[in-house]
Every structure is written in structure tokens, then in C-alpha cells.
Amino acid sequence: MGNHRMFSNAIIDSDKFLDMPLTTQALYFHLGMKADDDGFVGNPKKVTRSVNCTEDDLKILIAKGFLISFESGVIVITHWHIHNSIRKDRKKDTIFLDEKKQLFLSESMVYIDSTNENNCLTTIRQPTVNQLTAQEKIGKGKAIKENKSSSTAVDGEQSNDYQAVVDKFNSICKSLPRVKSLNDERRKAIKNAQKVLDGMTFDELFSKIESSDFLTGRGGKWSCCFDWILKPTNLTKIVEGNYNNLSCNNPSNTTYSEEW
């Protein structure tokens, strides 16, 4: 683990960060200093106690999307690669390889938890112009033949297919309010969304949303929600990249939907 750590103003100077209690903010900095070169902390509760913070502070950081937690008790700092860029010849890889396999690194350098109830995980990778494809599904040499057969496809009226989309939203879009229930209106919206996506998977869609500072509220006080995303006008603009960070940093170049 390196002796020097950096913190980006883009994260710690945001309203979302500054609205948290001071003890929660302080814990974030201490965890950042204790993290390994990939942003993982193996003993977050011990760190919390040692700096006189509470477990509630830790829970807030997780709930707000600044940390991702694992069943093993390990946590990772979501925006680690925004804060720190470590030369390869100086970097010491994390020992938490099982947890690392449950993440991928978005184009905006944000860790995203790709787990779902079917244990379909996406391996961590460096940012690339290529989006996730159905063939990246983890399995023992088993690849999915077509995107239409992926776990996010909703070709029939089976409730578990719709629930799979909701579960993916909840697991990937951690910065947004969780979806707690399904109804007929949401099922219809999910089914209609496939026509707008035109080959893009829901994994790709939700990852694109979580990477957007505007849509997640990291660029201001407003953030979207599941129902807003599925409105055809809004969905089309997300797919076309209107809310990508390049546009979000220059709102004058972006025409926002009137369906807010």
C-alpha cells in the first residue's frame, strides 16, 4: 500500500458529499488513506472504530454510493480511480481478488458492482469504447449466443424476467433510489424499452446511467429514477448519449427532456 493518497475535488466538493455529516466525511478520508492500491479496505469496521466514527457513518457512505460493500466485509472506494492514478511499476495489486471480480470499471473511472441474483458477474476491466456484451457473462466457458437470450431480455410475460431487470437496476445504479416493487405499468414500460434500446442490454443502459454525473445527481441536486428512465423520450436521450459526462459538464449543449 502506498504512503501517498489523493482525493479529487470533483467528488469531495460535491453537494452530495458535503451534505453528509462531518464524521461521515472524515471516515471517508481515513478509509481512503487505509485502502490498498486498488481502493479496497479489508477491515473497514476496525478503521471506523479507530477514528471514533460509528457504524452509521459507514452505512451512510455505502448508501450514498461512495463505498461498495461485499458479503466478506471488505469495502471498495467507488471513485478510487478518479482520486488516484498509480503508475504500474509502483502499483501493488489488491489481495481481494474475489471481490474485484464482482466489479467493472466504467468509462468515467467509477467502480460498479455488477452482481445480481443469478450470480451473473462482469469482470473488471479498463475503460474502453466497447460496452458490455452478453458474451461477457461469467460461466465456465459457456457463452450466450445472442443478446436476446441474456438474463435482461424480456421476451415473454414471465414475472421473473421483469424482476431480473429491476434487480440489475438496483445492483448497478447504486446512486439512485431502489425499486421496491413491480406493477403492470412498470412491466409494460420495461417491455417497451427493448424497442428503444435497439440491441443495447439493460446492463449497458444502467451502467451508462450510473456513469452520468447528471443523472445520478453528482453534478447537482436533481437525480433521475427508474420510472423516469423508462419514459421513451428520456430513454432515447440516454441511449444517444445526451447525458454523458461531456454533455453534463456543459448543460448548454444538452437538451433535457420535458418529462422530468
Domain residue extents for the chain: 9-86, 103-253
Query: What SS3 class is residue 11?
Result: helix
**Which of 163, 154, 245, 244 shows the shortest CA–CA distance to 201?**
154
The residues that bridge with 76 in the sheet, in sequence order, are 40, 68
8 exposure class (CB count in 10 Å sphere: 0-12, 13-18, 19+): middle
Confidence (pLDDT) at 90: 66
Cell numbers placing 168:
440489475
Confidence (pLDDT) at 79: 92
CATH of 9-86, one of 1.10.10, 3.30.360, 2.40.30, 1.10.1580: 1.10.10
Q: Do 165 and 154 contact (CB within 8 A), yes or no?
A: yes
Q: Do 112 and 104 contact (CB within 8 A), yes or no?
A: yes
Confidence (pLDDT) at 115: 64
Q: Do 169 and 179 contact (CB within 8 A), yes or no?
A: yes
Sheet holding 75-77, edge to edge: 40-41, 75-77, 67-69
DSSP result, 206-229: HHHHHT-HHHHTTTSS----HHHH
Q: Do 124 and 100 contact (CB within 8 A), yes or no?
A: yes
Instruction: Write out residues in the chain with pLDDT < 70, as ranges.
Output: 1-3, 86-90, 107-108, 114-160, 246-260
**Which of 241, 203, 238 shows the shortest CA–CA distance to 224?**
238
Query: Could you give the CA distance from residue 74 to residue 82 in angstroms, rounded to a whole number?
Result: 20
Confidence (pLDDT) at 95: 83
Confidence (pLDDT) at 221: 74
Q: What is the pLDDT of residues 41-63, one digit of tens each?
A: 999 999 999 999 999 999 999 99
Confidence (pLDDT) at 84: 82
